[in-house]
Amino acid sequence: MGLSKWVFLIFAIHLFVAKHISSNPVLSPDELAQIPVNFLDVAKKPEIRDWMIDIRRRIHENPELGFEEFETSKLIRAELDRLGISYNYPVAVTGIVGFIGTGEPPFVAIRADMDALAMEERVEWEHKSKVPGKMHACGHDAHVAMLLGAAKMLQEYRHELQGTIVLVFQPAEEGSGGAKKMLEAGAIKNVDAIFGLHVSPAHHIGVVASRPGPTLSGSGFFEAIISGKGGHAALPQHTIDPILAASNVIVSLQHLVSREADPLDSQVVTIAKFQGGGAFNVIPDSVTIGGTFRAFSKESFAQLKQRIEEVVSAQASVQRCNATINFNADNKIIYPTTVNDKDLHEYFQIVAGNMLGPQNVREIQPVMGAEDFSFFAEVIPGYFYFLGMKNETQGPLESGHSPYFKVNEDVLPYGAALHASLATKYLLQHQPSPKRSIHDEL
Ligand SMILES: *[C@@H]1O[C@H](CO)[C@@H](O)[C@H](O)[C@H]1NC(C)=O
Ligand SMILES: *[C@@H]1O[C@H](CO)[C@@H](O)[C@H](O)[C@H]1NC(C)=O
Ligand SMILES: [Zn+2]
Ligand SMILES: [Zn+2]
């Protein structure tokens, strides 16, 4: 490999640290700016790039659902063992927390999610999912590979690090809140800041996109059972029709966003599930409906949740039906809004700008999608960004959760280099201030 690159990288960092420790207030921006560029160069070398591609493909072939990522977790631990990186396991069932550096503060975390989706892959390729009904259709296989790629690079010069980089491999991002369980298990105890990314087919490769403040919406799911009294479809007077009641519930729910929400405060209520009856001439006893609701502020989210509850039961009762509502169906939990720290946003723009050019660091509008990264970012400063992977010359890419979803593997070096750069520079810039001597006080 390009040994000179390593030497240069280490040199650049060493230089910076030496200056910092000697309390020289004038730091060369050029030296700092070179770190992300060098990391990208290293990450594109076959030793890192091909290694990540291989890991990503192995994980892709064996997708596992939330809290069942046993083989994925084993694969990650085997690589960490080979790299000589220490870690805690199990954290939240299958999660892993690795450590690179001094073991002392400051601590900065970089995070990847590990879970796949319950769907059939339709992409015909050599490394297609080998598990029926399961697929990495959100790119979490690539997220794991990129975090390992960063770990491999960072471990090479662990002795240069002034602090500790915490590697967070979390389970169950897709609805079950693996991040919350990791948090409760102490995964980011003492951590000063955390970074996370998501591959994005909406942005070009070499482009990153994010924003300060609320970035991804808060998200909740609900399921309601509307009970009436079934009977002959031609004798409705002897029944209490839950199909009609559920239909009116759904129509009434549409009015929450259109009539009760501030049009400038983005919210969504969608009913995605409607199950009831099975015959043309039988009114069923009950209907099950379900859906999701989204909002950015805590207040709007709480208000929406309360009104969904009220509307479902009150509207059902108009047609003499009873309703029960469950906000934890399928172990889904409520995700808070993902709020990006404003200082980290500025920091990110500099680091990513150094690596990719400022024109490739885009600011986006908030997105109604949700991420359980929000649980981390509620507790410590966090920053979540999208990593573009579209390349027109290779054809269009389907969006996440499509059975035709593909990862452009050219993206892997970018993600690994961003993880490594963000963490390394963060430590450099957050050294504890040197102890003052008495003379300094005078
Ligand atoms: C609704 O609940 C009440 C009280 O439990 C019960 O008396 C009634 O029969 C229920 N109605 C239906 C349609 O299930
Ligand atoms: C886009 O794809 C083309 C064709 O495979 C390739 O030559 C080019 O390097 C890719 N661009 C990036 C930025 O990866
Ligand atoms: Zn997803
Ligand atoms: Zn995802």
Ligand 1 atom at minimum distance from 240 CA: 13
pLDDT confidence band for 233 (50 / 70 / 90): very high
Residue 173 token pair: 């991002």
Amino acid at residue number 291: G
In 27-175, where does DSSP find H-type helix?
29-43, 46-61, 70-83, 140-156
Question: Does residue 6 surpass a pLDDT of 80?
Answer: no
pLDDT confidence band for 273 (50 / 70 / 90): very high
Distance (Å) from CA 174 to ligand 4 centroid: 7
Q: What's the length of the chain?
A: 442
Ligand 2: residues within 6 Å at CB?
205-206, 391, 393-394, 410
Tokens 């509207």 -> residue:
315
Q: Is 198 annotated as a binding residue?
A: yes
* Class of domain 31-216+337-430 as given by CATH: alpha beta
Mean pLDDT over each residue of the chain, to the nearest integer: 93
- Cβ atoms 386, 200 nearer than 8 A: yes
pLDDT at 21: 42
Amino acid at residue number 277: G
Which ranges in the chain are annotated with CATH 3.30.70.360? 219-331
Question: Does residue 26 surpass a pLDDT of 60?
Answer: no
The C-alpha atoms of residue 335 and residue 332 are separated, in whole angstroms, by 9
- Over pLDDT 70: what percentage of the chain? 92
Residue 53 token pair: 């591609």
- What's the CATH code, domain 219-331? 3.30.70.360
Residue 408 token pair: 């452009």
In 157-290, where does DSSP find H-type helix?
178-184, 242-255
Question: Which residues contact residue 406 at a Cβ distance below 8 angstroms, ignoring those fewer than 6 apart?
Answer: 123, 397, 398
pLDDT confidence band for 9 (50 / 70 / 90): low
At 127-163, the pLDDT tens digits run 999 999 999 999 999 999 999 999 999 999 899 899 9
Distance (Å) from CA 322 to ligand 1 centroid: 6
Phi/psi of residue 339, nearest 5 degrees: -110, 120
pLDDT at 13: 53
- The model carries a pTM of 0.90
The C-alpha atoms of residue 155 and residue 118 are separated, in whole angstroms, by 35
> Which one is predicted more confidently, 23 or 200?
200
The C-alpha atoms of residue 32 and residue 242 are separated, in whole angstroms, by 65
Which ranges in the chain are annotated with CATH 3.40.630.10? 31-216+337-430
Q: Ligand 1 atom 8: the closest Cα is on which residue? A: 322
